[in-house]
Structure 1
Amino acid sequence: MSSFKPPLFLLAAIGVVIAACTVPSMPEAPDGAKFYAENCVSCHGMSGRGNGPLAKELDASPTDLTLLARKNGGNFPRAWALSYIYGHPEQRDLGRVMPQFGGAMANDTVPVEINGILTPTPRDLAGLLVYLESIQR
């Protein structure tokens, strides 16, 4: 039988590494609010209700982002929102007016729980999800 006992600092270091790999890191809502203000207000409006300054110029009315949970049985549809906002890189022309936010931002991801699965998500979009969840009514 071996009586090797690793030094306490080594055990602590291993614990920190394991925790860093398993604990999700969600951006705070202010990051999402900033991203929203810079990229979404012109169509969806400050309140998120689809009444931004450019809304009247669009063929289709922007979605009321404050009703996403209500339209989904009271649960905020993270997977749907993320996939719609991020966009699908192979489907550029789907008649959608809203820009896709994928691409280069995919290099800076954080784990976000989507339907019980930690999913690598662009940091900016993870923050936006937190913000959108906060404005549900």
Structure 2
Amino acid sequence: MPNRTDGRAFFADNCTSCHGSSGQGDGVMSEGLSVPPTDLTTLSRANGGTFPATRALAYIWGDPKQSHLARVMPQFAGAMADDLVPVKLDGVYTPTPRALAGLLTYLESIQR
């Protein structure tokens, strides 16, 4: 099962340019964006103290009704669907791309 270290590696490779190495939205690309990147360390605080895993996964995966051009953040669907692991979301084990399962674990660990 993917863990925090796996998620941190995915984050470093795919997210830091906008969200910064700490996840606070201060990456090198953040200044040029029309919508500032979310501070990923405050997702739980903004959700009543509970990490919103299902909502975070849905946003990271990508909204099928919007192309990546309709939002600033790219979608991470596609080839990831070939490597799934069960992740408990809202009490239900849900097939989730391995890379994103690790990313969720990492994101939950950086909440403040």
Contact 1:35 1:128 in 2 (8 A): yes
Bigger relative contact order (CA 8 A; separation at least 6) = 2
Q: Work out whether 1:130 is the aligned partner of 2:105.
A: yes
Equivalent residue for 1:12?
Answer: none
Q: 1:70 aligns with which of 18, 25, 45?
A: 45
Q: What is the identity percentage for the equivalent residue pairs of Structure 1 and Structure 2?
A: 62
Question: 1:1-137 residue pairs with structure 2 within 5 A?
Answer: 26-92=1-67, 95-137=70-112
2:51 and 2:93 mapped to 1: Cα distance? Answer: 16
The residue matched to 1:59 in structure 2 has which SS? coil
Q: Could you say what the CA RMSD is over the residues aligned between the two structures, in angstroms?
A: 1.1
Q: CA deviation at 1:82?
A: 0.2
Contact 1:89 1:102 in 2 (8 A): no
Tell me the TM-score normalised to structure 2 length: 0.96
Larger Rg: 1
Q: More deviation in 90-99 or 115-124?
A: 90-99
* Structure 1 unaligned blocks of 5 or more: 1-25
Under a length normalisation based on structure 1, what TM-score does the superposition of the two structures give?
Answer: 0.79
Displacement of 1:136 in angstroms is 0.1
Unaligned runs of 5+ in 2: none
Q: State the shift of 1:124 in Å.
A: 0.1
The CA distance in 1 between the partners of 2:73 and 2:17, in whole Å, is 11
Question: Match of 1:95, as an amino acid?
Answer: A
Whether the aligned pair in 2 keeps the contact of 1:35 and 1:124 (CA below 8 Å) is yes
Change (3 A) 1:48 1:85: same
C-alpha distance in 1, partners of 2:100/2:8?
11
Q: Number of matched residues?
A: 112
Structure 1 segments (4+ residues) deviating >6 Å: none
